[in-house]
């Protein structure tokens, strides 16, 4: 294995393989790809620790576990040398309706679970790399693994983190899923991180109905509609959020909807992100009648299952209460 890897030691060989990996990633359907060295994220770790110190992670206790592991890919894969970072556009040109009997679902969850789609493509890419270089070993990472996806995307030049803390790309706005492939190969690295192009714009901060974007580049999960409707396991949504859901049942896209960079959105060619029936908005009464078996069948291979049946029904009740109060 050492001998095979040494064949990539020359800059020319590394550059050639890197170019082919990028080409293959695009052929598999990814829309952007960059390659960076697998080194610790020092500045990003400091920002993560400050965010945690403020308690902005809410009840997401896993975010507070071992900040060092989250910011050093070598603690996820010991012999990692390179990080291949990818972005996949998921925008589909559909819109929410205005029927108060339904609850809006975040655009990212309209189609199949992105973990499956992005993860499947990364595994295909890894299989191709292994066929080209049998000594190669790697690990596909999509959100579940303790990596800072957005930070790696910035380092790889894919985009910048906006004031709403989502990654923004010039070509596709913020409607992108991110993933990484850790490799034991020394490759040719992209060295220019993306510049911030938010400028003086504060539309996302002003549009948030709960004030969750406390300042530019900082989101307090405790005030966030997405957090409350997806991650929070409490029997009731806290009143400051519940009273300002603005029709959102699962997740929230307000800060992305108002972002000027999303004027450059482009429909994705990935058909698995097309909305499933009823998953642009969902009928509240029907959700409240779902049995566990019916819930499992309806949301199989959907990101919506993250909220659990109890969470979705809690959210539906909060929306119905808001209608009654109005």
pLDDT of 56 above 80: yes
Residue with tokens 């790809």: 33
Which residues are the active-site residues?
Answer: 143
Tell me phi and psi for residue 140, to 5 degrees: -85, 135
Going by pLDDT thresholds of 50, 70 and 90, the confidence category of residue 249 is very high
- So what's the pLDDT on residue 20? 98
CB 135 within 8 A of CB 171: no
pLDDT, mean of residues 27-33: 98
Strand pairing of 102-105 and 248-250?
parallel
Residue 41: Cβ-neighbour burial (10 angstroms; 0-12, 13-18, 19+): buried
- So what's the pLDDT on residue 2? 43
**Alpha carbon of 62 to those of 51, 65, 76, 104: distances in Å?**
14, 5, 15, 27
- So what's the pLDDT on residue 299? 95
The 10s digit of each residue's pLDDT in 128-175 is: 999 999 999 999 999 888 999 999 999 999 999 999 999 999 999 999
- So what's the pLDDT on residue 8? 57
Going by pLDDT thresholds of 50, 70 and 90, the confidence category of residue 3 is very low
- So what's the pLDDT on residue 244? 98
Q: Which of 6-15, 111-120, 205-214 has the lowest mean pLDDT?
A: 6-15
pLDDT of 6 above 60: no
- So what's the pLDDT on residue 193? 86
The 10s digit of each residue's pLDDT in 63-119 is: 988 788 899 999 999 999 999 999 999 999 999 999 999 999 999 999 999 999 999
CA 63 to chain centre: 15
Continuous segment of H or E residues that includes residue 86? strand 82-89
pLDDT of 252 above 70: yes
pLDDT of 285 above 60: yes
pLDDT, mean of residues 186-191: 96
Nearest to 91 by CA among 10, 164, 173, 203: 173
Average pLDDT along the chain:
94
Tokens (6 digits) for 125: 């890419």
Going by pLDDT thresholds of 50, 70 and 90, the confidence category of residue 59 is very high
CB 177 within 8 A of CB 188: no
pLDDT of 7 above 80: no
In 156-209, alpha helices (H): 203-207
Tell me phi and psi for residue 270, to 5 degrees: -80, 105
pLDDT, mean of residues 262-280: 92
Q: CA–CA separation, 168 vs 230, rounded Å?
A: 22
Q: Classify residue 310 by its DSSP letter.
A: H
- Its pTM stands at 0.95
């Amino acid at each position: 294995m050492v001998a095979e890897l040494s064949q990539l030691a020359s800059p020319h060989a590394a550059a050639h393989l890197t170019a082919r990996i990028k080409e293959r990633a695009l052929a598999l359907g990814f829309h952007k790809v960059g390659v960076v060295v697998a080194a610790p994220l020092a500045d990003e770790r400091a920002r993560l620790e400050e965010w945690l110190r403020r308690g902005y992670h809410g009840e997401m206790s896993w975010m507070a576990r071992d900040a060092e592991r989250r910011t050093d890919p070598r603690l996820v894969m010991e012999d990692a040398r390179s990080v291949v970072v990818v972005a996949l556009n998921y925008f589909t040109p559909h819109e929410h309706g205005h029927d108060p009997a339904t609850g809006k679902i975040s655009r990212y969850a309209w189609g199949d679970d992105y973990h499956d789609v992005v993860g499947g493509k990364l595994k295909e890419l890894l299989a191709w790399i292994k066929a080209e270089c049998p000594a190669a070993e790697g690990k596909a990472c999509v959100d579940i693994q303790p990596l800072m996806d957005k930070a790696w995307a910035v380092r790889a030049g894919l985009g910048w983190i906006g004031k709403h803390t989502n990654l923004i790309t010039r070509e596709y706005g913020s409607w992108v899923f991110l993933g990484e492939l850790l490799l034991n190969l020394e490759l040719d690295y992209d060295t220019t991180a993306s510049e911030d192009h938010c400028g003086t714009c504060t539309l996302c901060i002003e549009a948030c109905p709960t004030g969750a974007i406390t300042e530019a580049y900082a989101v307090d999960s405790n005030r966030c509609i997405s957090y409350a409707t997806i991650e929070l396991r409490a029997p009731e949504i806290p009143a400051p959020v519940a009273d300002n859901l603005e029709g959102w049942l699962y997740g929230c896209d307000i800060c992305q909807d108002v972002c000027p960079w999303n004027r450059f959105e482009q429909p994705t060619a990935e058909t698995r992100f097309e909305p499933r029936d009823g998953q642009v908005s969902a009928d509240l009464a029907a959700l409240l009648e779902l049995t566990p078996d019916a819930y499992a069948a309806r949301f199989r291979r959907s990101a919506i299952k993250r909220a659990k049946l109890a969470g979705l029904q809690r959210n539906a009740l909060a929306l119905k209460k808001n209608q009654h109060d109005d």
